[in-house]
Structure formats: C-alpha cells, structure tokens
Amino acid sequence: MKALMKLRPEPGLTLAEIPTPTIEHPDDVLFKVDSCAICVGETKVYDWSEWAANDPTLQLPTVLGHEAAGIVVDVGPEVTQFRPGDLVVNDPIIYCGHCRHCRAGYTNMCENREIYGKRRGAFADFAVLPERALCHLPDGLSLEEGAVLENLGIAVHAVEIEQHNPGDWAVIIGAGPIGILAAQTLVAWGVNTIITDLSEPRLEFADQHSGAIAVNVKREDPVSAVMRYTKGKGADFVIEMAANQIAMDNAFDMVRTRGTIVTIGTFNGPISFNPFFKMTRREIKLQSVMGRTWETWRRMVQLIAADKVDLGSLISHVLPIAEYDRGFAMVKGHAVQKVLLKL
C-alpha cells in the first residue's frame, strides 16, 4: 500500500510502498483511510526543525498522519463497537485505560499513551488502531469533515477547561482551524469572542465563519482593541495558539484580573516572563491543554447535532496524497485552513 513516511532525520517526506497492516491484537480495527488532514505540527517534522528533532515521542521511520477518517474493513475478535462498513474517525491519543489518569476519565493524560502519527500513522491506504482509539463518524458528516474532528476536539477541550457565562469576553490569538472552531464553540455558549491574526485570508475567513470579532494585529494593537470592546476590563478568557513571545505577552496584557489564559500553541522554543508581575499580582490562571477526553467527544457531538460548528467550510483543499509537497507548502504558508490528503 502507499504510505507517506518520515524515513530519516532530514527535511522532506517519502511516499513509499509498504505492507498493508493486519489485525494483530483482539481489539484491533483495520480501516481503509479515506481522508487525512495535515497538522501544522507535521510541517515541523517535514522541515525537520529543532522542535521535531527534539520530540522524544517521534520514532523514525514512521508513517505520519493523525487526523483521519475512514471505513472499517475488519475487526479483531474482541471488538464490540465496530463492524465492517462502519465510518470511523480516530483519536490521536492511544490510551491504556488502566493508569490512574485513564481511570479518572483523563485519557488524554494517560501515563502510557502513544501519540498517533509518531510511531505509526494514517497517511496510508489502510491503518490499524485499537477499538478504544476510534469513534463512529457523527450522523450527517462526510468522511472529509470527519478528518477535521481532531481539531474540533482540541478547540472544545480548550474552551471547556474553564467555566463560561453568557456575556463573558474571550479572545483567541490565532485564526487557524482550531482558533475558528474554538470561536464557534464559545459563540455557541453565548460568549462574546474576539479573534486576532496577522494573515489577511485567515482574518477574512474568521470574519465570515467564526462568529467572532476579527482584529488584524497589523492594523490595530490587539490589546487596545480588547480593552475598547471590554470597556477597559479586559478579557475573561484568552486562548493563545500563535506560539510566540509576542502572543503570550499580549495574552497577559489583555486578560482581566483573575482571568484565565489557555495555551495550546506548539512553541518552537522557550519564552520568558516574570510570573510575579505577569500573574501573581493579578491572580492570573495559566492553563495548558492536551488533546481531548471522551467527555469532550460527547460535547463535540452535541455541538455538531445542534449545528453550532461548521466543519465543512474549514476544508480549504483536498489533494491526492501524491501532491503532499503542495499540501504541506500550503499549510506552512498560513493562508489556508485545513488541507486534506485523499487516499
């Protein structure tokens, strides 16, 4: 079968022919991959940046791809929730189900977790995952839209980590796919939302599809804009996903006293701030999030059923896997939303 692989610690990827995976464990599910989206983190692996070179979870050679949707082909003898022909999407966090975090419901924090796409992945004709790492495609969604569900999970988990009240003010720094979906989620909960970015195409998209107030930081100081909209109070809640020093400095300056900053960006290196002056004096809460839990999946399905999020509009391009170089270039250009590779 065809598979898009990272073979060596150097720039570039390889479209290779490898054996088709088979059922090896009683809880395995074999599925035909229909679509798999390119993640911005995978562009760092493509370029073989310092970030990728220092990622201890990445084991070469590996098939990349962790935002997939497909059709079940075969199942192991202990699989109870899926059968051939079912439409499925994957959770990139393959959890053990037995550690203290799994038992407490925080499967995203599993002590023994495998992150899909680091040792095996779904940029391939077929893939195998344990039953616990798959979900049924929600009713009404196409398989292509299913490949965007992983991003929705991150967005919803980032939002749900803090309680919100209708009329609160939130700011999202970064109008990429997760930022758009986080804005749609906050708006669905009655939260006044501002989204900021540098990219004109992304801001135009945000203005049309996010439900948030779009602020171009090239034209207007984002902190001043937030203070104007909130009448000097500052934002109750800030999601930082631009992953740079300026964005984090802005987050501290625009959040209100006793407000919350959530960071999910994939920083290329360390940043600096003085916790006493930035946090302690105003009791600012700095919260990180990783992936999503199964409770998050429940909320995601409810949002989809209530028609509160728009996954289809986020799909900028669908390309055959042979055009992966073009797709990765698009994602690195930061002018698109989601680029899918079709298997």
> Are the C-beta atoms of residues 288 and 263 closer than 8 Å to each other?
yes
DSSP 315-339: EEEEEEGGGHHHHHHHHHHTS-SEE
Question: Domain spanning 154-288 has what CATH number?
Answer: 3.40.50.720
Q: H or E element: which one contains 258?
A: strand 255-263
Fold of 2-148+311-342: Quinone Oxidoreductase; Chain A, domain 1 (3.90.180)
pLDDT in tens, the chain (343 residues): 999 999 999 999 999 999 999 999 999 999 999 999 999 999 999 999 999 999 999 999 999 999 999 999 999 999 999 999 999 999 999 999 999 999 999 999 999 999 999 999 999 999 999 999 999 999 999 999 999 999 999 999 999 999 999 999 999 999 999 999 999 999 999 999 999 999 999 999 999 999 999 999 999 999 999 999 999 999 999 999 998 999 999 999 999 999 999 999 888 889 999 999 999 999 999 999 999 998 999 999 999 999 999 999 999 999 999 999 999 999 999 899 999 999 8
The pTM (predicted TM-score) of the whole model is 0.94
**Alpha carbon distance 340, 343 (integer Å):** 10
How is the chain split into domains, by residue range?
A: 2-148+311-342, 154-288
